[in-house]
Amino acid sequence: MIFRAQAEAGLHEALRRSPVVLIVGARQVGKTTLARTVVPRGGENYFDLEDPVDLARLSEPMLALASLRGVVVIDEVQRHPDLFPVLRVLADREGRPATFLVLGSASPEALRQSSESLAGRVEVLELQGLGAADLDDGIDRVWLRGGYPRAVLADSDADATRWLRSYIRTLATRDLREFGLSLPAATVERFLMLVAHHQANLWNAATVARALKIGESTVRRYLDGLTDAMLVRQLQPWHANEGKRLVRRPKVFYRDTGLLHALWGVSTREALMKHFGIGASWESYVIDEILRRSPDARHYFWRTSNGAELDLVLEEPSGRRIGFEIKRADAPRITPSVRAALDDPQLKLDRAAVVYPGSTRYRLADRLEVVPLSDLLHATTIGR
């Protein structure tokens, strides 16, 4: 097991501060493993809502939870959203006899309506898969296999691929039904593959709807389901007010490149190097690593009607904007798109970076430099 020192330290701090801590993340990303560092599974203070015995124990939740002391773990809370009002009452008790660590395989947005009763009482932490900085040979391994612990730590690429394919089958046959994907499993798996072929591209609901012979509104709802399940990221276009020259559709990304590659049928580095989607895969991987280090920044892509495009724009809480062009090239040069972004009077970038897999950092122009991905991995924050 990889020791996630930063995640564990953040969890302990959150438990100290708040009566309820909600950890969200995709299935199999490591939420339960992290929770077990606080409360061992199997004790009276641990409830797994996928376990019929624990569900029975919570048939009268107030009675079951009120007498417990210390940290109480409730895993897969999205299966039992009516627990949130009960947790509100328990969180307000004088002296705080118990702290509740709640785990959910749904995004904060998906859980927001259910957890509204906990406003002011809950702290939300997002747990992602393992990143390149967590492993000695991180960049190539995490890019190929993704960050799910059982894939990235597998003994071989073949074992990683076997696990990822099994994970996809479980998503299609069971897990995604919770998020509204109620089609037959084979059709859900085909939908997952169609999304994979949109990787790092504008979403075209009409094309997918025709392929599946379902309505566009259903396709959009299913994409939102994948987003709620924290499998897909929808990167929205940046716009100043109602900037009419910018596109409206999001770009879609599987958040885990290992999952993406399994859907593509790619299982080795050699196959990835030859795949037509290598550029989209690299862009997705780099964006994920950047966003790990910018949790409080808003993130967009930028594109004009004339075709100029920037892969990622971060808008920090201070209002500062940083643009990123992501290239898989030996010696990137300034492109017309980057020049257009730097000169755009509405976008008003404070600086921009071209991120590449090399090892040399160099300046291209005023406010623009080429930055190795390895430099970003060792930064505690982006843009410094």
Q: pLDDT tens for residues 264-289? A: 999 999 999 999 999 999 999 999 99
Query: Is 374 part of a structural domain of the chain?
Result: no
Predicted local confidence at residue 380, as pLDDT? 54
Q: pLDDT tens for residues 161-175? A: 999 999 999 999 999
Query: Is 60 part of a structural domain of the chain?
Result: yes
| pLDDT exceeds 50 at position 1 | no
Q: Which residue has the higher pLDDT, 7 or 163?
A: 163
Closest CA to 294 of 138, 151, 128: 128
| pLDDT exceeds 90 at position 207 | yes
CATH number of residue 37's parent domain: 3.40.50.300
| 71 DSSP β-pair partners | 99
| pLDDT exceeds 70 at position 6 | yes
**Mean pLDDT of the region 122-148:** 91
The CA-atom distances, in angstroms, between 15 and each of 43, 107, 381 are 19, 20, 24
Over the chain, what is the mean pLDDT?
92
Query: Is 46 part of a structural domain of the chain?
Result: yes
Which of 33-47, 83-97, 239-253 reaches the highest mean pLDDT?
A: 83-97
Q: Which residues contact 48 (CB under 8 A, 6 or more apart)?
A: 32, 41, 54, 75, 76
Work out how many domains the chain is built from and give that number: 1
**Mean pLDDT of the region 244-248:** 60
% of residues, the chain, pLDDT over 90: 80
Query: Is 110 part of a structural domain of the chain?
Result: yes
* Sheet strand arrangement including 298-303: 298-303, 309-315, 321-326, 351-356, 368-372, 362-365
Pairing mode of beta strands 351-356, 368-372? parallel
Half-sphere exposure of 240 (CA within 13 A, CB side): 9
| pLDDT exceeds 50 at position 245 | no
Q: In this structure, what are the phi and psi dihedrals at residue 264, rounded to the nearest 5 degrees? A: -80, -15
Q: Which residue has the higher pLDDT, 9 or 283?
A: 283
% of residues, the chain, pLDDT over 70: 95
Q: Determine contact, residues 303/338, Cβ cutoff 8 Å.
A: no
Q: Which domain holds residue 116?
A: 5-126
| pLDDT exceeds 90 at position 215 | yes
Q: In this structure, what are the phi and psi dihedrals at residue 156, rounded to the nearest 5 degrees? A: -150, 165
Query: Is 61 part of a structural domain of the chain?
Result: yes
| pLDDT exceeds 80 at position 378 | no
Query: Is 45 part of a structural domain of the chain?
Result: yes
Query: Is 91 part of a structural domain of the chain?
Result: yes
